[in-house]
């Protein structure tokens, strides 16, 4: 018997010969976009401005505290 059918298929050849895109970076990490409700974003933005920090830093701080609280109760 010859090689399995999928090894000689056009798809298998494509898989072995394809070229990565010009922006491909091995080991790159991806950051997920998070979309907030308009009212929530406005409240958090105002709070971040009042505290003198960036919105991202404030949201990260709040989420970390919530996760610690949640994981502490389980």
Report residue 20's pLDDT band, with 50, 70 and 90 as the boundaries. Answer: confident
| Nearest Cα residue to 36 out of 54, 59, 52 | 59
Token representation of residue 61: 């701080």
What CATH code would you report for 29-74?
1.10.1220
Alpha helices in the chain (DSSP H): 10-17, 38-51, 55-73
The pLDDT assigned to 8 comes to 59
Residue 36: in which H helix or E strand, if any? none
> pTM for the full model?
0.59
| Nearest Cα residue to 59 out of 43, 70, 39, 71 | 43
- Is the confidence at residue 17, as pLDDT, over 70? no
pLDDT in tens, 50-66: 999 999 999 999 999 99
């Amino acid at each position: 018997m010859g090689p399995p059918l999928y090894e000689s298929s056009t798809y298998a050849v494509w898989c072995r010969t394809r070229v990565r895109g010009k922006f491909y970076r091995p080991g790159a990490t991806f950051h997920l976009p998070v979309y907030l409700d308009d009212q929530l974003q406005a409240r958090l933005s105002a709070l971040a401005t009042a505290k003198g920090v960036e919105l991202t830093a404030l949201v990260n701080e709040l989420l970390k505290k919530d996760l610690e609280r949640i994981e502490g109760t389980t």
